[in-house]
Amino acid sequence: MKFEVTILGSSSATPVYNRNPTAQLLNCNEKFYLIDCGEGTQQQLIKFGIKASKIDHVFISHLHGDHYFGLIGLLSSMHLNGRTKPMKLFGPEPLLDILNLQFKHSDTILKFPIEFTAIQAEQPSLIFENNDVTVETIILNHRIPCTGFKFKEKKRLRKLLVEKLEADQVPLEYYPLLKRGVDLDLPNGSTILNTDYTTDSAEPKTYCYCSDTIADGSYLNSIQDCTVLYHEATFLHDLLERAIFTHHTTALQAAEIALNTGAGKLLIGHFSSRYKTLQPLLEEAAAVFPNTELALEGVTYLI
């Protein structure tokens, strides 16, 4: 099953040096989940050849403009392009009022429904699930209510050893039960053990998205042992005071968090506009957590 994330925006606050405000597109089994939607997200989708019409779920972390100023434009374009299928939208409660005010004063009646779920940034909770994935909130500590998102694959069914099943002439009707891990007691008294005819599926992977937050440790339980951790790293550590004042994280702190929570890999992003080149941020983080990569726009990272 495909599980990968494409970075659409990696900048904090303002667009600079060809970097755009935050947005990411998660592909889980060919279903597309947009995570934050900074200004310029539509252009980025076009640039990277991604059809916006494929997106059926949008998750907004908080109401600082660099995380959602692209949303009204994206939804408007979907409307103009004739979208009729529902859009599931998750975000802070005032988000729907903000959108509705803009639609009201442009006399726009959307051709598709927005199914809105208001997120409470008080305790982690399950906000979405389907056959592929569950999504839980991560309660971050920022200047305004802010949540990250933990996407966890669902455990797949066991894999059939088809050649062996055919060689032993196991009837096809038993296959679905074997996939679910059931042992079969046959009428003739014999037993078919599913472990003889199936192998376990891969362990479910997790992607944790931690947007704007101070590195205070309060949310570490929520992101324990994730496969890929995206964590903001707005500043180098020499600006720790500034990071604390603005409720952001340094590259060094992001790496310490990845190390302390047993992450498989760290992606850092949300870079301050003061950094023209990003290599120093990467070096600072990788010195503590070697398996670190920069979240670069247009790049797809496997989870």
Catalytic residue numbers? 66
Length of the chain counted residue by residue = 303
Using CB under 5 A, which of the segments 64-72, 95-103, 157-165, 258-266 binds Zn ion?
Answer: 64-72
Cα separation of 284 and 233, whole Å? 10
Report 93-112 residues binding Zn ion (CB under 5 A).
none
Q: Which residue has the tokens 């004739």?
A: 82
Tell me if 292 sits within 8 A of 266, measured CB to CB: yes
Is 105 annotated for ligand binding?
Answer: no
By beta-carbon proximity to Zn ion, the closer residue of 142 and 158 is 142
By beta-carbon proximity to Zn ion, the closer residue of 20 and 227 is 20
Asked if 39 is part of the footprint of Zn ion (rule: CB under 5 A), the reply reads no
Q: What share of the chain is helix, strand, coil (3-state, %, to 5)?
A: 30, 30, 40
Asked if 64 is part of the footprint of Zn ion (rule: CB under 5 A), the reply reads yes
By beta-carbon proximity to Zn ion, the closer residue of 3 and 219 is 219
Tell me if 77 sits within 8 A of 108, measured CB to CB: no
Using CB under 5 A, which of the segments 10-18, 110-118, 238-246, 249-257 binds Zn ion?
Answer: 10-18
Closest CA to 61 of 139, 153, 152, 151: 139
Q: Which of 39, 66, 136, 284 binds Zn ion (CB under 5 A)?
A: 66
Asked if 231 is part of the footprint of Zn ion (rule: CB under 5 A), the reply reads no
Phi-psi domain of 196 (left: phi exceeds 0; alpha: psi -120 through 50; beta: other): alpha
Is 79 annotated for ligand binding?
Answer: no
Q: Mapping DSSP to helix (H, G, I), strand (E, B) and coil, where does residue 114 land?
A: strand
Is 64 annotated for ligand binding?
Answer: yes
Q: Which of 212, 249, 268, 281 binds Zn ion (CB under 5 A)?
A: 212
199 HSE (CA, 13 A, CB side): 7
Known binding residues for Zn(2+)? 62, 64, 66-67, 142, 212, 270
- Could you list the residues that contact Zn ion (CB under 5 A)? 12, 64, 66, 212
